[in-house]
Amino acid sequence: MARALWFLFVLGLLVIAAVWLADNPGSVTLHWQDYRLDTSVALLLVAVALIAAAAAAAYRLWRFIRRAPASLSRAGRERRRRRGYLALTQGLVAVAAGDAEEARHQVKRADGLLDDPPLTLLLSAQAAQLAGDEGTGGKYFAAMLDRPETEFLGLRGLLIQAIKRGDRNEALGLARRAYGLKPKSAWVASNLFALQTGAGLWADAETTLARSVKNNLVEAAEGRHRRAVLAYQRSLEAGKRERGAEALKRVRAAHDLDPGFIPAAVRLARLLIGAGRARKAAAVIEDTWSRAPHPDLLDAYWAARGAADGLEKVQAAERLAKFNADHVESHLAMAAAALEAPLWGEARKHLEAAGGTDPSARVCRLMAALEESEHENMARAHEWLMRASVAERDPAWVCEHCGNAVAQWSALCGKCDGFDSFAWRMPPRVAVLAAGGPGTPAPAALPAAPAQAE
């Protein structure tokens, strides 16, 4: 709309000027050598305009002719560039589709059409990897390190290759270099942290973890728990070097970061007992029991309370159970102490409460021990052991990555090298025997006695 109004405004000015010139034609006389030219002002202006237009057209024609070679060359380069990018795109599609032959073909086309090596180096490396030629792929990735714009991509490719072939030292060096370039990359930070923990570099891992939390790559809650695990590992390291004060300091930091972290609570209690602070050790166990009861806490608690015989253990277990009275582990702790006392009725009461209608293998084994100790009934004890073999498995430390189940917690999984991957839960069952099958006693609710085997 504005452009239309402007056009009408200019057109109006021209019309006014034409009318004014028609009303005031004037005259112009030109003398040049022996020539004389008499004309009107309007006609002179028209002639000047025509001469100007002709000059402009001639100038444009001269510029076109002068620039034609460069324009044709530029158009040719543009066509090659478009064809090169098309080949590059088709090569990437071939890599994604797993077509190694097509990827190599498109790499050659793109490399010949594009005078830009950084664009084709990555595709060349990926095509070589797809064809199973890791050596050639590594050469392309190494070539990327010489260019700032492709250095990170080269490091990433070499790092993946190093991890794949199990060269941890080279992988760690590459990860550190990549982390220096892009510390906010979640992929780089997680790989560097995994390599540091796998190498036992707990202090370096703490630094990487702190920066990851600061950069919002790791959630604050997860970061606190990982810091607790790292502090626990550094406590173990200090203990091996006979630095008792440092070991106690670091495991206390681990417990403060995550009071429900069982290994740290047990170690802290043991070290406090060794330092003559048994009451403080008992308080640590009681606090952790209120959050997450666990059988590993029992022996440390009995040691903290000085419980040497069965009756003393029963008294200590009663005190500990009050911090989480309805939990299964509290009943099992009372049952284990009562069996050692021996208080058969108390043991049976807590085993019934812990087992319910579907007792676990651990409850069944304790019931077998109770039948053997109280009544010397080996047949019923055997039946309870048979039930234990087909009952729900006892909780264990299970790796969340690979399913590996172990009795003792460790920071690294011995099967998949996962860091802090163990959780206390029911292990996956490999095979389940059908109830009522051959040789399988029929389940019965506690406290009913198991059926006699035929």
> Quick count: other Cβ atoms within 10 Å of Cβ 432?
8
pLDDT tens, position by position, 264-290: 999 999 999 999 999 999 999 999 999
pLDDT tens, position by position, 433-451: 444 433 334 444 444 444 3
Q: What are phi and psi of 304, to 5 degrees?
A: -65, -35
Q: Nearest-CA neighbor of 159 among 174, 178, 176?
A: 174
Two tokens at 63?
């510029």
- Tell me the C-alpha to C-alpha distance, in Å, between residue 144 and each of 85, 125, 136: 19, 10, 13
439 compared with 294, residue with greater pLDDT: 294
Q: Which residues contact 48 (CB under 8 A, 6 or more apart)?
A: none
Q: State the DSSP H helix or E strand holding residue 102, giving kind and residue range, or none if neither.
A: helix 100-113
Q: Which residues contact 18 (CB under 8 A, 6 or more apart)?
A: 42
Fold category of 310-393+438-454 in CATH = 1.25.40
Q: Nearest-CA neighbor of 446 among 325, 347, 333, 337?
A: 347
Q: Is the peptide bond before 263 cis (omega within 30 degrees of 0)?
A: no
pLDDT tens, position by position, 100-159: 677 667 656 766 656 656 666 666 776 776 667 788 888 878 887 887 877 888 898 899
Question: Is pLDDT at 303 greater than 90 in this prediction?
Answer: yes
pLDDT tens, position by position, 37-48: 777 767 777 777
Contact 439, 429 (CB under 8 A): no
Fold category of 219-306 in CATH = 1.25.40
* pLDDT above 70 as % of the chain: 82
- Tell me the C-alpha to C-alpha distance, in Å, between residue 404 and each of 19, 237, 302, 398: 100, 25, 30, 6
| Distance from the first to the final alpha carbon of the chain | 102
pLDDT tens, position by position, 325-360: 999 999 999 999 999 999 999 999 999 999 888 899
Question: Is pLDDT at 88 greater than 80 in this prediction?
Answer: no
What would the mean pLDDT of 47-73 be, rounded to a whole number? 80
Within its chain, how far is the Cα of 203 from the centroid? 20
Secondary-structure breakdown of the chain: helix, strand, coil percentages, each rounded to the nearest 5: 70, 5, 25
Long-range (24+ apart) CB contacts under 8 A made by 436-441 are 439/386, 440/386, 440/390, 441/383, 441/386, 441/387
Q: State the DSSP H helix or E strand holding residue 38, giving kind and residue range, or none if neither.
A: strand 35-39
Contact 232, 250 (CB under 8 A): yes
Question: Is pLDDT at 422 greater than 50 in this prediction?
Answer: yes
Per-position DSSP letters for 391-439, written without gaps between them: SBPPPEEEETTT--EESS--SB-TTT--BT-EEEEPPPPS--PPTT-TT
pTM, two decimals, is 0.71
For the chain, what is the mean pLDDT? 83
Q: Which residues contact 311 (CB under 8 A, 6 or more apart)?
A: 341
Question: Is pLDDT at 252 greater than 80 in this prediction?
Answer: yes
Q: Which residues contact 137 (CB under 8 A, 6 or more apart)?
A: 125, 126, 128, 129, 157, 161
pLDDT the model gives residue 2: 82
**For the ranges 10-14, 44-48, 67-71, 231-235, the one whose mean pLDDT is highest:** 231-235
What would the mean pLDDT of 287-300 be, rounded to a whole number? 95
- Tell me the C-alpha to C-alpha distance, in Å, between residue 58 and each of 46, 68, 84, 129, 424: 18, 15, 38, 59, 89
* pLDDT above 90 as % of the chain: 52
